[in-house]
Amino acid sequence: MKQYIYGVDIGGTNIKLGLFKENTLELIESREIKTPTEHQEVSIFEHIALEIQTMNQHHQISFDDLLGIGLAVPCPVKNGFVQKCPNLNWQTMDITKNMSLFLPGNVTVKVSNDATLAALGENNSLERPFQNAILFTLGTGVGGGVIIDGQILEGGTGLGGEIGHIPIPFETDELCGCGSKGCLEQVCGTKAIFKKTRLLAQTLPTSIHLDHLTVKAIFDAAKENDPVGLEVVHGVAKAIAYSASILAVVLDPEVFILGGGVSKAGQFLVDLIEQYYQPYARFHTGSVPFILAKTGNNAGIIGAAHYLKK
């Protein structure tokens, strides 16, 4: 009887593994290992298989007890295949096949984008999961995931959910990593937030210590009505609201979930986003709620486990 599932979240620096009960998807144990840097088209999968073997031994289970392994990867994926992964040295590769080479034939492998599976993990961790949900991941970059009719959206080539590259008509001429200008990430990513803070501090009074900038410090200052903090945070909220209004009329979600480091600003940020969202929203989409993500760094492994079970 298949009693267990592994959810694995592969990052450029670390790989997180979670062992779950198959029937309830209760997390039994999670571990992190360093992402190998050499020969990644082989070494990453080898390290994952070895760590799974170690965890199996620790819990006195075998590969015969596994329903399978879900993989969350930091690149666009379509049907388990990746053309290019900027964060890993992968090109034109069947990820499912490469992982399966290090596992017994009875172990199923399913793979998709990490932010997409984080959306699945966050949504399915709610007391009542939604059938249609959109996750914003707000950190160094801006990403996202889309759930439609209970299923993840990969799109035609795996680019579904690249929310950070929605064009927005606000205050940015800097070239984005994608090669274009005017992306959401260029306003709401950590680098953009720091740049705007330093620029505004040249002309506005502020209590923010520019030599030790953190997103938390900027948002905390905004909560205390600091002029620089307020302008930066309002800019972030306005940009997210604008992009959400576009997504709403295309995908008709039931909820927007805010995750990532920037979202730790909490309800303060949610309230501002909702304030800006209303004038942009069309038809009934103005009633779509914004909520904060709850699972933290476990979103990827939880989503990968759910995806494997689907």
Which tokens in the block code for residue 125?
Answer: 């961790």
Same domain membership, residue 280 and residue 132: yes
What is the structure's pLDDT at 127?
94
Residue 119, in any domain of the structure: no
Span 207-220, pLDDT tens digits: 999 998 999 999 99
Range of the structural domain that residue 134 is part of: 126-293
Same domain membership, residue 253 and residue 131: yes
Residue 13, in any domain of the structure: yes
3-state secondary structure 68-108: EEEEEECCCCECCEEEEECCCCEEEEEHHHHHHCCCCCCCE
What is the structure's pLDDT at 180?
87
Same domain membership, residue 249 and residue 160: yes
Give the C-alpha separation, 187 to 142, whole Å. 9
Same domain membership, residue 229 and residue 185: yes
Same domain membership, residue 302 and residue 282: no
What is the structure's pLDDT at 178?
82
Q: CB neighbours of 8 closer than 8 A, spacing ≥ 6? A: 15, 16, 17, 18, 48, 69, 70, 71, 72, 301, 304
Same domain membership, residue 286 and residue 231: yes
Residue 263, in any domain of the structure: yes
pLDDT means per 10 residues, the chain with 310 residues, are 93 96 96 96 97 97 96 94 90 96 95 96 96 94 94 94 90 78 91 94 96 93 97 96 97 96 88 97 96 93 95
Give the C-alpha separation, 138 to 234, whole Å. 15
Cβ atoms of 307 and 112 closer than 8 Å: yes
41 by DSSP, 3-state: which?
Answer: helix
Cβ atoms of 72 and 152 closer than 8 Å: no
Residue type, 279: P
What is the structure's pLDDT at 265?
85
Residue 189, in any domain of the structure: yes
Same domain membership, residue 180 and residue 61: no
Same domain membership, residue 272 and residue 148: yes
What is the structure's pLDDT at 14?
95
- Which residues make beta-bridge pairs with 84? 91
Q: CB neighbours of 141 closer than 8 A, spacing ≥ 6? A: 164, 177, 185, 189
**CATH code: domain of residue 237:** 3.30.420.40
Same domain membership, residue 231 and residue 108: no
Give the C-alpha separation, 306 to 304, whole Å. 5
Residue type, 195: K
Give the C-alpha separation, 185 to 85, whole Å. 19
Same domain membership, residue 281 and residue 218: yes
Same domain membership, residue 303 and residue 268: no
Residue 121, in any domain of the structure: no
Residue 120, in any domain of the structure: no
Question: What does each C-alpha distance from 84 to 30, 44, 157, 159 come to in angstroms?
Answer: 28, 16, 11, 12
Give the C-alpha separation, 180 to 113, whole Å. 22
- The structural domain count of the chain equals 2
What is the structure's pLDDT at 140?
85
Which tokens in the block code for residue 127?
Answer: 């007391």
What is the structure's pLDDT at 51?
98
Residue type, 2: K
Residue type, 185: E
What is the structure's pLDDT at 217?
94
Same domain membership, residue 257 and residue 240: yes
What is the structure's pLDDT at 260?
87
